[in-house]
Amino acid sequence: MATIGHNNLNAKLVLLGDMGAGKSSLVLRFVKGQFLEFQESTIGAAFFSQTLAVNDATVKFEIWDTAGQERYHSLAPMYYRGAAAAIIVYDITSSDSFSRAKKWVQELQKQGNPNMVMALAGNKSDLEDKRKVTAEVSVIILQYCFLFHVSKCCVHRV
């Protein structure tokens, strides 16, 4: 959930996706400005935080980077429970990674916070020549998810 203080906002953010999709790389780039060519697999989950100034407010992201291996899937609800936002990451060079990302979206729609903001992130754009998931396909899925959340947000906030 997101909690608001005096011009301060704390927001729990969770990254979900297949093993090797690049979740940890995205978090390390966001939090530390680093990129490691070879990243070891996350075991369970890793926690990070990042504070940003946005307009007149301070936003502190509490970030849970979850493991992508199937054996850790059952732990995921513990990390996405109460999250204000989720980034579902897939590898653009893997159709299987994209298929599993769609399953994450469906799981969050059924079991996640009903007000959760979701983003679908196609990662590894530096490997464009090996792309298996076309930009057009991912845009169609993204539009579907966006429309779902716009209508849901309107229902809850009207």
And the tokens for 99?
Answer: 């298929």
Pairing, β 2-4 against β 45-54: unpaired
39 vs 24, 28, 35, CA distance in Å?
Answer: 8, 10, 9
The string of pLDDT tens digits covering residues 87-123 is 888 888 998 988 898 888 889 888 888 888 888 888 8
CATH number for position 28: 3.40.50.300
And the tokens for 138?
Answer: 């991912």
Q: Global pTM?
A: 0.79
Tell me how many domains the chain contains: 1
For residue 10, the enclosing domain spans 2-157
